[in-house]
Each structure stands twice: as C-alpha cells, then as structure tokens.
Amino acid sequence: MGGPAPQKPTRHHRKGLPLLALAAIGVVFGDIGTSPLYALRATLVLGGADAASPPHVMGAISLMLWALFFVIGFKYVSLLMRADNGGEGGLLALLSLTRSRDDEAGAPSGRWLLWLALAGAALLYGDGIITPAVSVLSAMGGLESTHELRNSHWVVVASAFIVIGVFLTQRFGSGRIGWLVGPLMLAWFVLIGVLGVRGIMNSPEILQSFSPTWGIALIGEAPGVAFLMLGGVVLCLTGGEALYADMGHFGRRAITLAWWVVVCPSLVASYLGQGAAVLADPAAAANPFFALVPDEMRISMVVIATLAAIIASQAIISGVFSTTRQLSQHGLIPPLNVVHTSDVEGQIYIPAVNIIMAIACVLVVLLFGSAAALAGAYGLAVTGVMAVSTILFAVVARRRWRWSWWLLGPLLASVLSVDLLFLASNASKVLDGGWMPLLVAVVILILVATWRKGMRLVNRGRLEDGLPIERFVESLQGDATERWPGTGVFFARSRQITPVTIRKLQRHLPGLPETIVIVHLHPLGVPRVPYQQRLRLEELGQGAWMASIRFGYLQRPDVPSMLRDAVERGLPADPNLLTYWVRRDQIAVVAEHHGMARWRVAVFAYLLRNATVLPDMLDLPPRRTVEVGMRAPL
C-alpha cells in the first residue's frame, strides 16, 4: 500500500505553530464556528412536534456530536488533508492529483472527473451566497426574542444592510484586519464553550448523549424522523471543506491543532449546553443558542455573534474568489480582473464576483427572511461538496498512492455512505429552499460549458489555419517581410502554432519587429511553480525567440518580470522598450452555429465582451501595448 509522498518543510514550519493555529481559528473555522447559532434549532424543527422530547433531543445531540467526530475529525482532518498538492487543498487541487497522463490528454475518465469537480465547485458558489445570509440572520435572530422586535421586519432589513457591509469591505482585503480575526474567533469559541458548560451544569444528564446509542436508538424507533433530522444535523458540519481548502495557508499541523484543542471542544460544549437547555425547558427549542445567554447579555451577544458571522462570511467569500481564479486560469470561465489586496498570494478580491454575490445574498435575505427558512437551502450545497470530495479522494488514493481495495473499499463505503445519507436527507428540502444552490450550480455549469465550447469553436478555425512555428521561422529567411527596429512580444495559445497576431501583421502591414518574442503561458495543475522553473527560453532563429512561462493555479503570471529575466539569459532586447501585441477577440454571428444553440451563442458573446482583456490580466504596460482586433465567425 502506498501513501502520500513525504513533504518537504514548507513556509508553515518556519513560523510558530501556535500562532498559525490561532490564525487558522479565525480564517478556517469561521463557518463551522457559527453553526451553533442555527444547527440544533433547524434539526429540532425538522424533527416535528415531538422533537423537543428528551429522547429526540438526546438522539439529535448524539447524531451531531458523532457527525463532528466522524466527518470533520476523521474524514477531513485525518484523511483528506493527507492529499495536498504542493501544500494546497480544495476540489481543484484534489482534481489535479487524480489526473494521469491519459486524463490530461482528454481521456473519458479525466472528463468525468473534471465535471464532477466542477459540480462541487459550482455548489460552492451557492454555499458562498447562503453562508453570509444564514449566519447574519441567525446572529440577528437573538433580537427576535425580545418583545419589542418579535416578528419585526427591522431585523430582516438590518441583516440586509449588514450583508451589504460585508461585501463592501471585501475590496480592502482581509490582510489589514487579519491580526484581529484569530483572537476574535478564539474569544468566540471560548465564550460559546463557557455558555455550553453553564447549560450542562443545569441538566448534566445531557452528557449521556456522548454515547452513539442515543442516535442509534432514535434511528431505530423513528427512522423517518431521524432521516429528516439529518437535514439539520449536517448544518453543524458547514465549513468542513474550508479545513481542506485553506490548508495551504496554515498547514496541516496548525489546522489539526486548532481543531482538537479549541474548536472541537467548544462546539461539543455548545451543542451539549443547548441540548441541556431544551431538556430543562422545551420552549427553548425555538432558539437553543440564545436560550443559554442570560437576559442581561442578550444585546451584547447579538453584537458578538454578528461579528463572528461577518468573520465566517469572509472565509467563504475568499474561498469563492480563490475558486473563481482557479477556474479562470484553467480556461473554464472568462478571464476576470483579480485585485491583490496584500503581498500574500492568496489574499485577492474579484470585483465582478463580489458584486454578483452581494446582490444575490441580499435577495436571499429578503426572500427567505429568517435563518429557519433559509436552513432548508443550506444543507444541499454542503452535502454535495462533501460527496464530491470523498469520490475524488478515493481516486487519488487508488491511482496515486496505490491503496489496496481491501483498505480503500471499506473506507470508501463507510465515508461515502454517510455523505450520501446526508445528501439524500437534504434532497427532501429541495422545495423548501434547496432549489436555490442547485439553481446557482446549474447556472455556473451552463456558463462553464458555454465558454469552453465557444472558445473551442473560435480557436479551432484559427488552429486549423495556423502556420507551424518552424515554417514561420523558415519564411523569415526571405526578403518578403520587412523588419523594423525594436522588439515585439506576441502571445501564443500553442507552442506549435504561430500566433494569429503575427500573421495579421504580415498580411496587412506587411512587416514585423526585428526581434520577435513569442510568449506561451502554460498553467500547470500545481499550486505554485518555483521561480527558477517558471521561464523556459529558446532561440528559434531569424530573430525569433520562444519564452514559455509556467505558473501554478495560485499564481499570476508576471510577464514583464519574466521577460526581464529572459534578457539576463541572453534575449537581445531592452526590457523597458518592449512592445506587446495582443489579440482582442470578437465574434461575428452567422447562420450556422456549429453545434451551439443560438441562445448559447448570445451568452458566449456576452461573456466574451465582458471578459478581462489580456493586458489587464497580465498587468502589461498600457503605453507599450497594442491590441489587434480579431473577428471570428460563430
């Protein structure tokens, strides 16, 4: 049986482990840390009229505790974080680990794994829209227990404005306030743990729910009720994917330490305390979390919970930004403007995505109006991502680590059965709000499929008519093409085919620069490429050079910097006097659509018009950049 290759020491090991764990508490565990605001309440609501009875409460708490132990502690912390791609995690990182040479060449197995990972990533967008809404609504829900604000629309309006504020602050980046996030969330976990212990002391019999027999008994005596309650139990697992996705920022050791020392004990104490409160007073089932809060602390706790919800929202929104950039770098969606908010590579801001998510999130707040109503929409996205990550992990364990089926089979069966059970339970809530993340995922997948198909059709004709690089260099030996002084930089989609921009200049000027640099951007399926390995320079002859720039999916290709390195390696040019020639794609709609429906052509044309152009994406100097328009029939 194989296993993950031993990892070299990374940047995480050079920092203090406790400090990294503190930072992980703030960034990684925001979502799961705010789930006590709504998870038990949603579970008891789904349990029906008898949900507040002692057997149901004990069974619900038992299911929630063992879900935390098995799914978060065992699956994510112990299993999934073994699968790191250069220290990074997430669905696309996991997808890269599954690929063999045949998959990268377009084999069927590679295609279905790609679309499986894309489905999980698409569900993440639905999660990113729901999380800020449900977290803020749950935090503000504490005000509804006061007589003056009960059933008041002001709570919904205030929640909408808070959500707007969350998205407005994204442009400043989390780096400027990052030093506050860890201590604030640490204080939050300590607070909910203390309140939970206080509740346990009032009804210590709740400690019996540590035994899984209570959950098993609930399943045996009322399987239908238990099945429905699983749709709420899964809410205590929200944010579990962040443990794996954010592994590259903090490292496996720091996240593991934070989970077992701080996060898990606090969550267990909070859920036990909430269960104890319901046992002592069945009316507390209406809002178990705030039932633990003394009346004199109610307003203060709402403020603290709202701050925690905002922090939790930052984590999922940042995750959506990172996923969007990875999709764009893989050519699966149009290029988008990515703004780096600090010197840290992972801290980015995407204005277009931020605006769309803000509008969608506010609409969700106004449409659903309460965390209880929104809970039905929440679990489906979470369970879908859970199932996808399990399948991809199994492929990695089999293909890359060569795990035996005697080990992998039972392991996959047990973990995937739990994921699918949670998914099936949440599927029953489609009509109660679960349609929302599904709708978002379908829209994302349609956009991805349309963009991929459209770009394939646009480039197919150009590649078929393209001139091989070798023949282009040979043609430069004659005197037909005039050469003027200077250096021109052209961008090629393929190392074998001459850039269309060069042929356009030859045909219409005709002429070319004395020195020609053909740049081929080569994204790799790894998070980062070492600086020394990013540039490959090759002299083609007749004043033509090929510069291949390799970069990972967490990196942004810095072409001007790479070309300065190329000059140091022998490229005969002044790096400050380069002229960048880039193509600007446009389409001309014709009668025949080459297999793509007219509505998809319209969608693709819209995406193409609003895509970030290459000069903006690569930070090319505007005074030395020339755009050449290209119209392609579609």
Q: Which helix (H) or strand (E) holds 111?
A: helix 108-140
Residue 179 burial (CB count, 10 A) = 11
Higher pLDDT, 245 or 287: 287
State the alpha helices, DSSP H only, in 203-281: 213-221, 223-233, 240-245, 247-250, 252-258, 264-280
Dist. CA 594–CA 420, nearest whole Å:
39
> Would you say 375 and 235 are in contact if contact means Cβ atoms under 8 Å apart?
yes
Q: Which of 310, 353, 396 is nearest to 89 (CA)?
A: 396
Structural Rg of the chain based on CA atoms: 27
Residue 57 CA: distances (Å) to CA of 41, 47, 631:
11, 9, 65
> Would you say 305 and 34 are in contact if contact means Cβ atoms under 8 Å apart?
yes
pLDDT (average), residues 168-176? 67
> Would you say 141 and 148 are in contact if contact means Cβ atoms under 8 Å apart?
no
Dist. CA 82–CA 80, nearest whole Å:
5
pLDDT, tens only, 366-387: 988 877 777 767 778 888 889 9
Q: Which of 214, 451, 171 is nearest to 314 (CA)?
A: 171
Domain ranges in the chain are 15-452, 468-633
> Would you say 134 and 115 are in contact if contact means Cβ atoms under 8 Å apart?
no
Dist. CA 37–CA 236, nearest whole Å:
10
pLDDT of residue 594: 58
pLDDT of residue 535: 92
Dist. CA 288–CA 332, nearest whole Å:
44
pLDDT of residue 174: 52
Residue 443 burial (CB count, 10 A) = 13
Q: Exposed e or buried b for every residue in 590-623, given b needs 16+ CB within 10 A?
A: eeeeeebeeebbebbbebbeebbbbbebbebeee
Can you read off the two tokens belonging to residue 149? Answer: 């604000």
User: pLDDT averaged over the chain?
Assistant: 83
- Bridge-based pairing state of the strands 544-551 and 348-349: unpaired
Range with the lowest mean pLDDT among 114-118, 233-237, 256-260, 325-329? 325-329
How much of the chain is helix, strand and coil, in % rounded to 5? 65, 10, 25
Give SS3 for 340: strand
> Would you say 612 and 339 are in contact if contact means Cβ atoms under 8 Å apart?
no
Can you read off the two tokens belonging to residue 194? Answer: 């203390």
Residue type, 628: V
In the block, residue with structure tokens 């492929």:
395
pLDDT, tens only, 53-99: 899 999 999 999 999 999 999 999 999 988 877 767 778 778 888 86
pLDDT of residue 7: 39
- Does pLDDT of 483 surpass 50? yes
pLDDT of residue 101: 42
pLDDT of residue 428: 80
Residue 372 CA: distances (Å) to CA of 39, 154, 587:
9, 17, 47
Dist. CA 228–CA 226, nearest whole Å:
5
Higher pLDDT, 234 or 466: 234
pLDDT of residue 205: 94
pLDDT of residue 177: 52
Q: 326: Cβ–Cβ under 8 A, 6 or more apart, which residues?
A: 90, 92, 553, 554
Q: Which of 231, 194, 191, 262 is nearest to 28 (CA)?
A: 262
Range with the lowest mean pLDDT among 188-192, 400-404, 587-591? 587-591
pLDDT (average), residues 294-320? 82
Q: Is the pTM for the entire model greater than 0.85?
A: no
- Bridge-based pairing state of the strands 625-633 and 578-588: parallel
Q: 443: Cβ–Cβ under 8 A, 6 or more apart, which residues?
A: none
- Does pLDDT of 520 surpass 80? yes
Dist. CA 189–CA 196, nearest whole Å:
10
- Does pLDDT of 341 surpass 70? no
For 275-307, give the DSSP string. HHHHHH-GGGGGSHHHHTS-GGGHHHHHHHHHH
pLDDT of residue 12: 45
Dist. CA 295–CA 289, nearest whole Å:
13
Quick one: DSSP state of residue 534? S
HSE (side-chain half, CA atoms, 13 Å) at 181: 25
- Bridge-based pairing state of the strands 512-523 and 535-541: unpaired
> Would you say 580 and 621 are in contact if contact means Cβ atoms under 8 Å apart?
yes
Between helix 371-399 and helix 435-464 the angle, nearest 10°, is 50
User: What is 15-452's CATH number, 3.40.50.10190, 2.20.25.90, 3.40.50.1980, 1.20.1740.10?
Assistant: 1.20.1740.10
